[in-house]
Amino acid sequence: MITDRQRNETYKAQPPVFGNNGTVLHQGFVMLKKNSDRPLLFGLIFLSTLLLPPLAQAQDTSNSVSGQINVFQAFILGLVQGMTEFIPISSTAHLKVVPVALGWGDPGVAFSAIIQLGSIGAVLWYFWDDLRQLTLGTLQAIQKKDYQSNSVRMVSGIAIGTLPIVVIGLGVKLLIPNFDESPIRKLSAIAIASIVMAILLGLAEKWGSRKRDFDRLGMQDGILMGCAQALAIIPGVSRSGSTITAGLFMGLERASAARFSFLLGIPAITLAGLVELAGLLDEGLAGVGLFPLIIGLISSAFFSYVAIAWLIRFLQTRSTWLFIWYRLIFGIVILIAISTQLIQNS
């Protein structure tokens, strides 16, 4: 298994080149100077406040435009999905808010879930060496009946940690057939979830010891982070945000918590995407269109890879306060827009 320390040494020894595991597109993505998170934070806050005027103009648009998505919109939605799926700011929230801000409306659960498959492709691409070693290590351990090996414990943790979100996801699918229209997907709920998770992530930053690395993960971590992952059913919580928060509370290093969060998300996101894709295929893809769907998947995969590489490198030397403040501002901006009737609470 490739440790965070080994990966970090690789970063230092070699200039980042696109295409190798543990590297990024360009050195400019990761060569962060001291206090460089401040202008980035101000930039994110500025972008959040820019949402207000277009949101006000878009308040009378349709709540769902998944049947009208064109190639350009699919590319932008893939970009939003890719850049926010693994950064702890909630892809679901941004996939609802950003299209509404642009006057497109809500793309819906189905399209959002399907383009998440592009993010899965990026995870598999980025962590291919880790996954290969993990698989081989597990098979060898089973042959030797060494069920306490690190590989077996980690695979077991991922498998067991996937169960909570699968059970809850199936329950939501069966009990709430019109989930797109449910109150839990309203902008006010997204805003509140964003603020609450920002507070929890802040507490995790304050209280977490951050002394445990990736190789010390086990089944217990998978179970607890899996339960946290199940909270991502609520838009605005963020799957990566909830799992990274749980990991920090359990004393994991930031980068280790992020890496395990990404691996833990592979089964859950894949299952969700395949279920929605199967449902869409039954309808003949007439509502979305095959070509825009492909563009969305490619865009999602590309920008997901960039986000994964950047975030892991970022968390090796920086805290999560950048995302904490962004989530707070994001939630507050939405609540202000709703309370001043700039937008409808749709």
Taking the domains of the chain in order of start, what are their residue ranges? 89-177+186-339
What's the token pair of residue 100? Answer: 């509404």
Q: Quick check: 88 and 201 in contact, CB under 8 A?
A: yes
67-103 as b/e: b if 16+ CB within 10 A: eebeeebbbbbbbbbbbbbbbbbbbbbbbbbbbbbbe
pLDDT digits (tens, 9 = 90+) for 103-162: 887 787 778 878 988 999 999 999 999 999 999 999 999 999 998 888 898 899 999 999
Q: How many CB atoms lie within 10 A of CB 257?
A: 31
Q: How many CB atoms lie within 10 A of CB 319?
A: 16
In 3D, which of 109, 111, 37 has the Cα closest to residue 311? Answer: 37
Write out the chain's pLDDT in tens, 346 residues: 555 555 445 444 433 333 334 433 333 333 333 444 545 554 454 444 444 444 444 444 444 444 578 899 999 999 999 999 999 999 988 988 888 888 887 787 778 878 988 999 999 999 999 999 999 999 999 999 998 888 898 899 999 999 999 999 888 878 887 776 788 889 999 999 999 999 999 999 999 999 999 888 888 899 999 999 999 999 999 999 999 999 999 999 999 999 999 999 999 888 888 877 777 677 655 556 788 889 999 999 999 999 999 999 999 999 999 999 999 999 999 999 999 988 888 8
